[in-house]
Amino acid sequence: MFYSQRHANGRFLLRLLLTAVFLIPIFWMLMASLMAPGVPLPTTFRLIPDPVTLENYGRIWQIVPFGRFLLNSLLVVITAVPITIMTSSWAGFAMSQLPDARQKRLITLSLLILMVPSIALWTTRFMLYRWLGILDTRLALILPAFMGSSPFFVLMYYRAFRRISKPIFEASRLEGATVFESWRYIGMPQIYSTTLGVGILSFILYWGDFNSPLLYLSDQSKYTLPLALQLLQQLNRSDWPLLMTGSVLVTAVPLVLFIIILPLFRNINPNVLSGIK
């Protein structure tokens, strides 16, 4: 008993120490955003900058039109995330209900598509988008959402739906329920932690997407926040407090969302992140 208590304490300390390492980038980003603008950069190590100021969070709005970029980014995620949830859960649901042999083939296909790096598709997607006439529109940013965004999300849903016992779906089918009804009223209500997981992951994906707007947009009025950061860097290469303030602001939205969503996972499943399974 004494031994296992000590063992548990040791494991806790190890966990604490290693987890702390993962906070380093975000911590240093935040601290640099609190430095006073226009003064020489520090020459000795300080955990927290000497005068702590929020001045940068006021002036950044005057330097680049951050508000408009924010609005553009919000428009992208507000459309892309619900579409992703719908299409990926449809595909995952259908996969879980199909005969075993087809399930296996579809899983293998999904795994294979996951191995294709997106750079392999840049140039020809560009041509395809122009041919479809959606170059330089927001649709070019959210088009992958119509295929569930990533096979990863489809597999997450597949896993979740497979855990629901099959007789329930059999019974509802015999009662005359359509696939849509089974999905909507039996499947989806039981796996809403997966929906939360896919929701936050796809939010992160589209919110942080730098390549699509870089490649497929030329009209600056449609730029999203990651491109705003590039603009900010080009304009103020050595204004570190300002650059870090921009970075913190762009990170803040998904971060706050993540923190709000976390307790919801706990209500369903004691495991926060493995609730996504």
Partner 1 sequence: MNFKKFQLSYKTQLNLFLLPYLFGIFLLVIIPALLSFGIAFFRYDGLSAPVWVGNLNFILAYNDELFNLSIQNSVALVLLPVPLRVFGAFLMARLLQKNGRFLNAFRAIIFLPSIIPGAAYALAWIWIFNPLSGPLNLLLQSIGLFTPAWLADPLWAKPALALISLWQIGEGFIVSLAALSDMPPSIDEAAQIDGASTWQQFWLIQLPIFAPILLILIFRDIALTLQNSFTTILFTTQGGPYYASYTLPQFIYEQGFDLLFFGSASAALWVLYLITGLIILIVYLLARQWQVGPSEALYVL
Residues 47 to 86 in contact with partner 1, rule: CB under 8 A: none
CB of 247 within 8 A of CB of 33? yes
Distance between CA 106 and CA 93 in Å, rounded?
12
Q: How far apart are the first and last CA of the chain?
A: 34
* Tokens encoding 139: 């649709």
How would you write 69-121 as a 3-class SS string?
Answer: HHHHHHHHHHHHHHHHHHHHHHHHHHHHHCCHHHHHHHHHHHHHHHCCCHHHH
Distance between CA 207 and CA 226 in Å, rounded?
8
Beta carbon of residue 188, minimum distance to partner 1 (angstroms, whole number): 12
CB of 138 within 8 A of CB of 75? yes
The verdict on 123 binding partner 1 (CB under 8 A) reads yes
Among 6, 12, 52, 264, binds partner 1 (CB under 8 A): 12
Among 152, 184, 190, 192, binds partner 1 (CB under 8 A): 152
The verdict on 31 binding partner 1 (CB under 8 A) reads yes
Beta carbon of residue 77, minimum distance to partner 1 (angstroms, whole number): 12
The verdict on 250 binding partner 1 (CB under 8 A) reads yes
The verdict on 240 binding partner 1 (CB under 8 A) reads yes
Q: Which stretch binds partner 1 (CB under 8 A): 59-67, 74-82, 90-98, 188-196?
A: 90-98
The verdict on 6 binding partner 1 (CB under 8 A) reads no
How would you write 207-219 as a 3-class SS string?
Answer: HCCCHHHHHHCCC
Which helix or strand (DSSP H or E) is residue 23 part of? none
Q: Cβ closer to partner 1: 1 or 41?
A: 41
The verdict on 218 binding partner 1 (CB under 8 A) reads no
Distance between CA 24 and CA 45 in Å, rounded?
15
Q: Which stretch binds partner 1 (CB under 8 A): 51-59, 64-72, 91-99, 188-196?
A: 91-99
Beta carbon of residue 263, minimum distance to partner 1 (angstroms, whole number): 9
Q: Cβ closer to partner 1: 1 or 120?
A: 120
Which helix or strand (DSSP H or E) is residue 183 part of? none
Beta carbon of residue 251, minimum distance to partner 1 (angstroms, whole number): 5
The verdict on 230 binding partner 1 (CB under 8 A) reads yes
For residue 73, which of 199, 181, 229 has the smallest C-alpha distance? 229
Distance between CA 225 and CA 251 in Å, rounded?
10
The verdict on 90 binding partner 1 (CB under 8 A) reads yes
Q: Cβ closer to partner 1: 122 or 192?
A: 122
Among 65, 68, 70, 125, binds partner 1 (CB under 8 A): 125
Per-residue interface string for the shown chain with partner 1, residues 177-216, x marking contact by CB under 8 A: -xxx--x--------------------x--xx-xx---x-
The verdict on 44 binding partner 1 (CB under 8 A) reads yes
